[in-house]
Amino acid sequence: MQPVARSPFVAMCIAGGLLASSLLPWFMPGLNGNAYLPWISLVLGTAGLQALYVASNMVRGEFEEDTSHLQPSDGRRGGDPSGWTGGRSEAVLGGGERRDAVEAGRAYEGLEGPLRPAELLLAEANLRHDEVAAARWAASEAADSDLTEAGFERLGDLIAANRLTRPGPEETFHHLNRPSKPEEP
């Protein structure tokens, strides 16, 4: 059987007793006229709080985890100036290399298993959404009067022709500055 540490319990009892005795003069009706009783109460209350602090520090050590197996850290990357890897790395890390995301993504192909029913439903919903969005885009391009005035069928062709970046005629937005005629009722 392990010995029971009673020192935190004793310190808590002492703290409670001191705090209770510090409140006692305030509840005794005949002693309120003495000028020294508030000071005694203050000293006893302070001593009780100090004992409570000591007891909490005694108890805190019992519940802290043992971190002696962990590597000590002083807030830096470790003791090695090269970092945790010791200056070694499996990947070639150069300055300014271009990495292709598609090529890097191929390394992860085949890692997933078959899709679950909820994932199949989501994939089907995504495909249907893509089809509807493509149909709406095509209808929007076909109905766009600015594209037909410019002589293009698709917005991408207009952008590729660089027609959007050149300045237009001076009168393009002039109608916005003119006051509009009031409508007659």
Pair 19, 51: CB distance under 8 Å:
no
Structure tokens at 32: 């309120």
Q: The whole model's pTM is what?
A: 0.32
* Domain-wise residue ranges, the chain: 8-60, 117-166
Residue whose entry in the numeric block shows the structure tokens 């500055």: 177
**Upper half-sphere CA count for residue 2 (Cβ side, 13 Å):** 3
pLDDT for the residue 5: 56
- How do the pLDDT tens digits run along the chain, 185 residues long? 455 556 777 777 787 887 787 777 767 766 556 666 777 778 888 888 888 888 777 776 666 666 666 666 555 555 555 555 655 666 666 666 677 778 888 888 878 888 899 999 999 999 999 999 999 999 999 998 888 888 888 888 887 776 555 555 565 555 556 666 766 65
CA gap 160, 152 in Å, rounded: 11
User: 150: which residues sit within 8 A by CB, 6+ positions away?
Assistant: 158, 163
Give residue-wise pLDDT tens across range 162-177. 655 555 556 555 555 6
* SS3 label, residue 36: coil
